[in-house]
Structure 1
Amino acid sequence: MFCGCRLGAMWGMGQGGQVPTSGTTVQPEILDLLSDRVLDGGPVVGERPLSGGFSTDNVLLRTAGGEAYVLRRYQRRNTCAVEAAVMRRVSPHVPVPEVVLADEDGSLVGEPLLITRFVPGVSGAAVFAGAALEDGPPLAESIATVLAAIGSVTFPAAGFFSGPELRTDAPRPKFCEDLPAFVEDCLAQAPPDLGLSREDRAALVGLAREWAPLVAQVRADPALGPRLVHSDFNPKNLLLRPSGDGWRVSAVLDWEYAFADCALFDVGNLLRFGDELPPGFIERFPSAYREAGGVLPSQWRQASRALDLFAIADLLTRPADHPLAVKAAHLAHSIVAAGR
Structure 2
Amino acid sequence: MRTEDGERIAKALGGRLVKATTLAGGYSHETTLLELDDRKVVARFGGGDPAIEAAVMALAPVPVPEVLLVEADAMAIGFVEGTVLSRVLETPPDAVEGLGREVGRVVARIGDVRFGAAGFFAGDGLTVGPQPPWSEQLVPFAEQCMAKTERLDRQERTAWLALCAEHAPALTAIDGEARLVHGDINPKNILVGGGRVTAVLDWEFAYSGCPYGDVANMARFGAGYPPGFLDGFVSGFEEHEPRHPDWQYLGRLLDLFALSDFMTRAPGQEVADQAATIVREWIATGVPRTTRSL
Q: Fold conserved (TM > 0.5)?
A: yes
Q: CA deviation at 1:203?
A: 2.6
Q: Alignment partner for residue 71 of structure 2, among 94, 98, 103?
A: 103
1:203 aligned partner:
159
Q: CA deviation at 1:129?
A: 2.3
| Structure 1 residues 78 and 313, CA gap change in structure 2 (3 angstroms) | closer
| Structure 1 residues 322 and 59, CA gap change in structure 2 (3 angstroms) | closer
Q: CA deviation at 1:53?
A: 2.2
Structure 1 stretches of 4+ with a deviation exceeding 6 A read none
> In the TM superposition, what whole-angstrom CA distance separates every residue of 1:158-192 from its partner, at most 9, and x where no partner exists?
111111111112x869x88422232233122110x
Q: CA deviation at 1:297?
A: 1.4
The percent of aligned pairs where both chains have the same amino acid is: 37
Per the normalisation by structure 1, the TM-score is 0.77
SS at match of 2:174: helix
**Which runs of structure 2 are paired with 1:1-340 in the superposition (5 Å)?**
25-28=1-4, 30-39=5-14, 42-65=15-38, 67-74=39-46, 78-90=48-60, 93-104=61-72, 112-132=73-93, 134-169=94-129, 177-191=136-150, 194=151, 196-220=152-176, 225-241=177-193, 243=194, 247-291=195-239, 293-339=240-286
Q: Aligned partner of 2:27: which letter?
A: F
Q: Aligned partner of 1:323: which letter?
A: E
Q: Aligned partner of 2:76: which letter?
A: I
Q: In 1, distance between residues paired with 2:241 and 2:171?
A: 18
Give the alignment's Cα RMSD to 1 decimal.
2.4
Q: In 2, distance between residues paired with 1:313 and 1:155?
A: 26
Q: In 1, distance between residues paired with 2:272 and 2:48?
A: 25
| Structure 1 residues 218 and 37, CA gap change in structure 2 (3 angstroms) | closer
Q: Is the 8 A contact 1:229 1:265 kept in 2?
A: yes
Q: In 2, distance between residues paired with 1:338 and 1:321?
A: 25
| Structure 1 residues 201 and 31, CA gap change in structure 2 (3 angstroms) | closer
Structure 2 residues not aligned, in runs of 5+: 288-294
Q: Is the 8 A contact 2:105 2:233 kept in 1?
A: no
Q: Is the 8 A contact 2:6 2:20 kept in 1?
A: no
Q: Aligned partner of 1:214: which letter?
A: A
The structure that is helix-richer by fraction is 2
Per the normalisation by structure 2, the TM-score is 0.89
Q: In 2, distance between residues paired with 1:235 and 1:43?
A: 32
Q: In 2, distance between residues paired with 1:273 and 1:145?
A: 19
Q: Is the 8 A contact 1:94 1:149 kept in 2?
A: yes
1:21 aligned partner:
none
Q: In 1, distance between residues paired with 2:110 and 2:135?
A: 22
Provide the aligned length of Structure 1 versus Structure 2: 287
Q: In 1, distance between residues paired with 2:243 and 2:105?
A: 13
| Structure 1 residues 33 and 209, CA gap change in structure 2 (3 angstroms) | closer
Q: CA deviation at 1:294?
A: 4.0
> In the TM superposition, what whole-angstrom CA distance separates every residue of 1:233-256 from its partner, at most 9, and x where no partner exists?
111111111x2xxx2211111111
